[in-house]
Amino acid sequence: MLTVEENQRVTRVGPGTPLGKLFRRYWWPVCLSKELPELDGAPIRVRLLAEDLVAYRDSENKIGLVDAWCPHRRAPLFFGRNEECGIRCVYHGWKFNRNGDCVDMPSEPAGTTLQAKAKLLAYPTAEKGGVVWAYMGPKELQPAEPDYEWTRAPESHRYVSKTFENCNYLQALEGGLDTSHSSYAHNNKLGDRANLRQHDKAPAIDVERTDYGYFYVSQRKADAGTYVRVYHYVMPAQQMRASIIGYEGVRNKPARLDGHIWVPVDDEHTHIFNIMCAPHPEDELTPEAVETREKAAGRGKDDHIPGTFRLKRNQSNDYLIDRQMQKTQNFTGIVGVNTQDFALQEGMGPICDRSKEFLGTSDKAIVGMRRLLLDAIAVNERGGTPRALDPETYRKVRAYDRVIPEGADWHKVMEKDLVALW
Amino acid sequence: MVTPQDNERLTRVGPGTPMGRLLRRYWQPACLSSELPERDGAPLRVRLLCEDLIAFRDSEGAVGLVDAFCPHRRAPLFFGRNEECGIRCVYHGWKFDHHGTCVDMPSEPAGTTLQAKVRLQAYPTAERGGVVWAYLGPKELMPPAPDYEWTRAPAKFSYVSKTFEHCNWLQALEGGLDTSHSSFAHNNFNSNKSEPRQRDRSPRIDVERTEYGYYYVSTRDLGDDGKYIRVYQYVMPAQQMRPNNVGWFGGANEMPRADGHIWVPVDDTHTHAYNWMCAFDENVQFTPEWIESRETAMGRGSNDLIPGTFVLKRNPSNDYLVDRQMQKTKNFTGIAGVNTQDFALQEGMGPICDRSKEFLGGSDKAVIAMRRLLLEALDANEKGATLRGVETNTHRAVRPYDHIVPPGVDWRPIFDRELQAKW
C-alpha cells in the first residue's frame, strides 16, 4: 500500500514534479525509427512526459525533437515544412534547425535582431536499436546514450514494436514485474497441468538490488526440478524477461529475450515499446516468427486500428471479451496476452489508487520497484546520482529462464546465461 | 430559490456527503433483474451514488454487489470469472463470495494468513418487483427490504424499465413532482382545448406531509363538469407515484393504473430513472404489445434506445431531434416522447441546476415541499432521528389516485378508499 501522497509522487510525470524531474535524468524512447522513414519527410506529433513535441528527420538524417508550437505566435509546427535542415512554420515562415536556433525569419525586416533571440525548445536525440531516444533533462547532467544489449543486437536478431495504453505508466510497469499473474491472467488453456506456470501458481520470489535497479528470481516447482526465471528491472521503466523455454517446458524456437519499456505519454497515457531479441546467434528472428509472437501478444498486424498504435480490442469495446471462452478455454475470455494485461491495467482507472490495495508475498517485486523509485526521487532531490544513468551499470545485463535440478543453486547453474553476448 | 450551500447539500451524493449519507439509509435500485439473466453469467458494471461496483448473479441465484476493483492490486473485477459461488479476479486468481469474503488466494503459499484478512467491499442486495435493490448504508441501521405496492403485484400486472439521464437526480425528481408542466411540455395536441389539463392550466396544489414523505392534491377546475383531482405520492427519498385512472381526454383510462419513477443517482451528474407501472387491479392486464406502445409514447420503446444501453437515441448530443416545424404545428416542444420532453428540459438545465438563480411560483409548491423534506431529513439523519419512508410499514400501502369529481361533491371519501394498495 502507498499513501495518497506517495502515489502522487510515483505517478505524476509533468515538468517540475518530483518524478518528472527524476525521469528527465534518463534517455527516453520517443518513437520508432521507422515512424520517420525519410529525410525531410512529414513531421510527427510526439507527446512525452506530458510535453507536446514534434519530431522530424532532417536533411542530414538527424532527428529534431522540438516544441510542438512555434515560439512566435504558437502556431502548430506539425503543419510545418521539413526542408533544408530545419522545420519552417507555415504561419509566418520562421525556420528552426534541430538545435532550436532560428535560421530564417522572413516576416521581419532583413537584419532584424529578433532572429538571434528567438529559440525553439529542442531536445538532444539519438538513434539506437530501431528507436529514437531523447534526453529532456538538464544539459549539464546528460548521461551517455543508452546501450542495452538489445540495442546492439543485429537487426536479424532484434525487433521493436510500440503500443498505446490508456493509463498511467506505473500500473503497466507493475504488471511487467509480476510473474505471478501469468499463472492466472495468461492461462490460455484451462485445465492444462503440464503448463509450468499452472503446475505451481504461487512462485517464491526473491529480489536483489543492483546498481541498475534489481533482478528478481521466481522459482516454481516443476516435475523435472525447479522452474527458475530471472527478470531484470532496469531503471526507470524497463523490464527484461526471458522466454528461452515455453509454457510447456520445451525450448522456444527461436528462444527469445523479451522486454518492455513503459514510456509516459502523460499522467494517464503510456507508450509501450515491446522488445524482442534472440539471445543466441544461431536463432534468427524471421518475419514469420515475429508476427506469430506479436499476434500471440495481441498486437499482430491485423490487431491495430490502422494508422495508429492502438489495439482494436480496447477499453471502448471491453476488449471483445467472450464470456463463453472464459468459461471453457482461457482464464480471461480475452484474446492476446498483452491485451489481457491492458484489460487489467487500464481497468484500474487512469491512475490506480494504491491507498486502497492489499499486497501479498507474490507482490515483492512490485514493492521493491516502488521503493527504488521513491528512493531515487529522494536521491535526485538531494543532488545525488540515481541508479542506471551510466550505461556501464546495465550494458551486460541479460534475463534468462531454465528448469534446473531440484536443490541446485541457480546462481551457479545460470551464471553464464545471465551475461550479454551481443 | 435555494442558497448555493443548500443546493450543494441537496444534490451531491458521494460517500461522506450529507445527501450521500442520507440516501445510503434507503435501499436503492442497483439494476433490473433482467440485466443479470443467468447464474454464473457475465458480471455487470454498476455505478451507484458515485461508487463503482460490479453486480453478478452467483451459482445459487443470489446477486453480489461488490467493489469494482479487486482489493489486491485494484484490477477490474468486471473481467472476473463468475463461478462456483463467487467472483474470481483474472489477474491473480483471488476469489470472493457475494459477502466479500475471500474464499481462495491461489497466488499466495498454502495456509497464508492474508486470506482471512482481506475483504472485498460488498453490499446487501434484495430482488423485488424485477429490480435488484442494494443497501449501501451502515449495517446496524439496515431496514427491511423495500415493499412498495408495485413490487408485490404479479408480473402480468406490473412492468419496470430503466433509462439513463445526463443530469443530477434532483432536477429529474422535481420534474416528476410537478403536475403543472404537463399542461405545457406534454401538450401534444396543440389545438385540442377539451383536455382537462388544457381547460385548467394552473392547478391548485395542496401538499400534505406523511410518514413516508407527502401526498399532494392538484385540483383543476372544469366548471360545470366538476373538478379534476390528481393525488400524487412522494415516497422518500426519490420516488414518485402518479395516477392514471382518468384518461388524457377525461374519460376512463383503458388501463387504470399507477405509474411511477425512482430517480437513482449514478453520481452527481448522471441518473438512472426506473420507470414502473402497476395495474390498479386484476381486471387490468398488461400485454407486451400494450407495454411497448406505452413505452414508445413515453419515448423509450424498444427502438428508441441505443442498442445495448439505457441511453435514448434522442439525447443531448442531437438536441433530442427537435423538429421546429412540428413545434409550430403539432406539439408544444417539437420533441417526440413524453419523457424525452422531460429529459430535454431537465438535462438542458446543465449537469446540476443552479437553484440560486431560480424564481418560483405557486405551482411549484410540491417541488418546494419536497426540497424542504429532504433538507430536514439531512438534519434528522445527522442527529440520528427517524427518517420518513425508511420503514416498510410507512410505504407499504401507498397508492396514487385521480378522478373527476362532480360539482359540489367532496373528493375525500371517494379518494380515501382508492388511495389504499390492493396488491
pLDDT in tens, chain B (423 residues): 899 999 999 999 999 999 999 999 999 999 999 999 999 999 999 999 999 999 999 999 999 999 999 999 999 999 999 999 999 999 999 999 999 999 999 999 999 999 999 999 999 999 999 999 999 999 999 999 999 999 999 999 999 999 999 999 999 999 999 988 888 888 877 666 778 888 888 889 999 999 999 999 999 999 999 999 999 999 999 999 999 999 888 888 999 999 999 999 999 999 999 999 999 999 988 999 999 999 999 999 999 999 999 999 999 999 999 999 988 888 889 999 999 999 999 999 999 999 999 998 888 999 999 999 999 999 999 999 999 999 999 999 999 999 999 999 999 999 999 999 999
What is the ipTM metric for this complex?
A: 0.83
Contact B112 A340 (CB under 8 A): no
Question: Does A366 lie at the interface with B, CB-CB under 8 angstroms?
Answer: yes
- pLDDT of amino acid B361: 86
Q: Do A201 and B106 touch (CB under 8 A)?
A: yes
User: What whole-number percentage of chain A has pLDDT above 70?
Assistant: 100
**Yes or no, beta carbons of B72 and A333 under 8 Å apart:** no
Q: Does B230 touch chain A (CB under 8 A)?
A: no
Which A residues in the span 66-125 are in contact with B, Cβ-Cβ below 8 Å? none
Read off the pLDDT of each residue in A96-117 and give the average, rounded to a whole number: 94
pLDDT at position A194 is 78
Structural Rg of chain B based on CA atoms = 23
Q: Shortest Cα distance from A197 to chain B (angstroms)?
A: 11
Band of residue A195 on the pLDDT scale cut at 50, 70, 90:
confident
Does B171 or A196 have the greater pLDDT score? B171
pLDDT number for residue B330: 87
Interface size A-B, in CB pairs within 8 Å, comes to 99
Contact B71, A358 (CB under 8 A): yes
Inform me whether the C-beta atom of residue B280 falls under 8 Å from chain A C-beta atoms. no
Rounded to whole angstroms, the Cα distance separating A49 from B18 reads 39
At B30, the amino acid letter reads A
CB pair distance less than 8 Å for A332 and B79: yes
B110: chain A residues, CB-CB within 8 Å: 202
Measured in whole angstroms, how far is the alpha carbon of residue A156 from the centre of its chain?
A: 21
H/E element holding B339?
A: helix B338-347
H or E stretch including A413? helix A410-413
- Rounded Cα distance, B96 and B104, in Å: 7
- Whole-model pTM: value is 0.88
pLDDT digits (tens, 9 = 90+) for A292-339: 999 999 999 999 999 999 999 999 999 999 999 999 999 999 999 999
What is the rounded distance in angstroms from the CA atom of residue A84 to the CA atom of residue A70?
A: 18
Contacts of B92 in chain A (CB under 8 A): 180-181, 183-185, 362
Contacts of A362 in chain B (CB under 8 A): 92, 107-108
User: Can you read off the three cell numbers belonging to residue A51?
Assistant: 510535453
Best CA proximity match to A65, nearest among B409, B305, A82: A82
Residue with cell 521503493: A371
Residues 6+ apart with CB under 8 A from A196: A220, A222, A227, A245, A247, A248, A249, A403
**Is residue B160 within 8 Å of B257, Cβ to Cβ?**
no
- Considering only residues B295 and A247, tell me which one the structure prediction assigns the higher pLDDT: B295
CB B48 within 8 Å of CB B136 = yes
Answer whether B93 sits within 8 Å of A174, measured CB to CB: no
Touching check for B43 and chain A: CB below 8 Å? Answer: no
Distance from chain centroid for Cα B17:
20
A97 vs A373: CA distance, rounded Å: 36
What pLDDT, on the 0 to 100 scale, is given for residue B188? 79
Q: Report the C-alpha gap between A233 and A151 in whole angstroms.
A: 16
Kindly write down the DSSP assignment for every residue of B282-322, as one continuous string: TT----HHHHHHHHHHHT-STTTBPTTSS-BSSSGGGGGG-
pLDDT on residue B191: 63
Is 80 exceeded by the pLDDT of residue A37? yes
Using CA coordinates, name the residue in chain B closest to A175.
Answer: B91
pLDDT value, residue B184? 87
Asked if the C-beta of B422 comes within 8 angstroms of chain A's C-beta atoms, the answer is: no
**A-chain residues within 8 Å CB-CB of B101?**
none
C-alpha cell at A133: 531516444
